Structure 1
Amino acid sequence: MYWQRFITQDGMSLLYFLLPVFGGYTLTSLYLLKNPHILHKKKRTAFYCMHISHRGGCGERIESTMEAFENAVKHGTEMLEMDCHLTRDEYVVVSHDENLLRQTGQDVNISSLDLQDLPLYKERMEVLFYEGRYSTGADRKIALLEDVFRKFPELPVSIEIKENNKRLMQKVSDLVRSYNREGITVWASVDNTIMTECRRTNGSMPYSFSMTRGMLLLLLFYTGLLPFVPLGESLLQFYLPRIMNRTYFPGGILANKLAVSLLEKVTMRRSLFQHLAARGIQVHLFVCNEEEDIKAAMEVGATGVMTDYPSLLSTYFCKTRSSD
């Protein structure tokens, strides 16, 4: 009886101590989540983009071609998103895939070919994030990154690096420096190892969250630690989960749809996105190819939307601005 009474009293004492500590921590975390300027200086990037064209706007022109980039700019895009690879003779080219089977019909790798030997894109290319849709265009040539920089010297560009190729990273960095674009060219990669190497190659360029860092961001958010932790990233680029059900699971399996629904509830947190925006970290949700998706992205707190259809996004923004 004595020990039971001692344990009970000791447990109650501990509870009386922990409750106010936990309560104080929770209230402080919530307050700082809404007022991050108290602990963190707001990032001031050289760009702020609401209209981002995925692969140059690959729903309206063949992906990653100069024609696609020019069309996107004509429709008011504020950032071009692209992927880069290195040819055998060390030219940096713009292509989503290293292997060109999907894009050209030829089962060859970019790294195995010289620039002059790269095949043309297909005349008709499927839009991966819009089932049953295809793009066409007069330009079927794989673009040089340098041509993009030369043509659009002041336009922000997000470059995703998919392979841990130090030579590729160095070549990209050299071009960025050569065209004085360090403030408006973004390192992007889902792979944290690759992102670390990109930053080591050129630490002056802004960079986005890798997958690992994105998961850590969510962990910090749900444990209440986020307001206390410094963040080096300037952008969060993430799927709008609802598009996965149409893209990856069309007519799909119930378990997959439930998983996507759970992912949406966990990741699409307006308070998280507002906190990041208040710290100067832009939130770009993709790939929004329907008006309802653009609306959903903006309503959840995205600061920018990435699309395959730049004209659709421009029309949406024009309509919303005129109605305000």
Structure 2
Amino acid sequence: MNDRSYRPLVFAHRGGADELPEHTLAAYLRALDAGADGLECDVRLTRDGHLVCVHDRRLDRTSNGRGLVSSKTLAELDALNFGSWHPAYPADDDVPDFSRLLTLERLLDVVCSSGRRVRLLIETKHPSRYGAEVERRLVRMLRKYGLAEPQPDAPVQVTVMSFAALALRRIRAQAPALPTVYLLELMPPGVGRGRLPFGARTAGPGIDLVRTRPGLLPAMRAAGHQTYVWTVNELPDLELVLEHRVDGVITDRPRFVLEHLGGV
């Protein structure tokens, strides 16, 4: 990377899930303190219609609960511990920022009051028993915060991401100005030639796909699309995506990536 003017955006994946329990407020605050350009979160709907920041369909991996996120009310989820599974969990289990369920509303409150520029990537998780209601609720909440119609000078910029092309279509129909990212784990037909669905202007391939399909990133750039690559945690992968001059690096280790970029 010879051009010192090039510097990709660094996004903290699930808040920077390497250092602290994923999708906890403590993780997001740590990422902001480290200087991450943006934050990434996943959202799911609870049984009573609240958007919560949880990746998995089931609660087993990241909490002391069991069952489906979508089958629980917000109150039921709020009673669970979402941090004790992580090696960095503090001995003092009274620290709510390390253990409490994070709602999207609470995350937006923190981001909007941070006093700094923040790019927020919100992934809507599918399949979901609530289908299109996930995007409807998301757009409604973004409108509440004045984030559904992005303004160039606004400190907080939101981008919606999904592996589901239909989710991107719903976002385009309800909030056409919101930028979208089409996430890729496999290679759908046509994408290798630079085509993205429903107005998406950014491709979001996983690092495994980037390794196995070396022509993908050049094809996206040739088609005029930006590229955000996930989840870039190791130095060889970081160097690979920097060689391709990607626009965004989504990582569990934002501090590591920022330190490397600072030394390049």
Q: TM-score, normalised by structure 1?
A: 0.65
Q: 2:120 aligns with which of 127, 141, 157?
A: 157
Contact between 2:83 and 2:99, CA under 8 Å: does it hold in 1?
yes
CA distance in 2, matches of 1:264, 1:309: 19
CA offset at residue 166 of structure 1? 2.3
Of 195-204 and 100-109, more deviation after overlay is shown by 195-204
CA distance in 1, matches of 2:217, 2:139: 34
Alignment of 1:59-208 (within 5 A): 59-118=18-77, 119-125=80-86, 134-136=87-89, 138=95, 139-153=98-112, 154-163=117-126, 164=128, 165-182=131-148, 183=150, 184-208=157-181
CA offset at residue 196 of structure 1? 2.0
CA distance in 1, matches of 2:107, 2:36: 14
CA distance in 1, matches of 2:251, 2:121: 14
Change in 2 beyond 3 A, CA 1:105/1:120 = closer
Give the residue type in structure 2 aligned to 1:209.
Y
Q: Which residue of 2 aligns with 1:285?
A: 229
Give the residue type in structure 2 aligned to 1:193.
L
Aligned residues: 236
CA distance in 2, matches of 1:86, 1:218: 29
CA distance in 2, matches of 1:215, 1:267: 15
CA offset at residue 57 of structure 1? 0.6
Give the residue type in structure 2 aligned to 1:188.
M
Contact between 1:60 and 1:309, CA under 8 Å: does it hold in 2?
yes
Q: Mind listing any 5+ residue stretches in structure 2 that lack a counterpart?
A: 1-6, 151-156
CA distance in 1, matches of 2:215, 2:193: 15
Contact between 1:285 and 1:304, CA under 8 Å: does it hold in 2?
yes
Change in 2 beyond 3 A, CA 1:57/1:98 = same
Change in 2 beyond 3 A, CA 1:159/1:236 = same
Alignment of 1:219-258 (within 5 A): 219-221=192-194, 232-241=199-208
After superposition, the CA RMSD in angstroms is: 2.7
Q: 2:251 aligns with which of 290, 302, 307?
A: 307
CA offset at residue 146 of structure 1? 1.0
Deviations 1:223-248 (A, max 9, x none): xxx7xx9982232111112xxxxxxx
Q: Mind listing any 5+ residue stretches in structure 1 that lack a counterpart?
A: 1-47, 126-133, 242-259
Percent identity of equivalent pairs: 20
1:297 corresponds to 2:241: yes
Secondary structure of the structure 2 residue equivalent to 1:104: coil
CA offset at residue 217 of structure 1? 4.6
Higher helix share: 1
CA offset at residue 270 of structure 1? 5.2
CA distance in 2, matches of 1:271, 1:98: 34
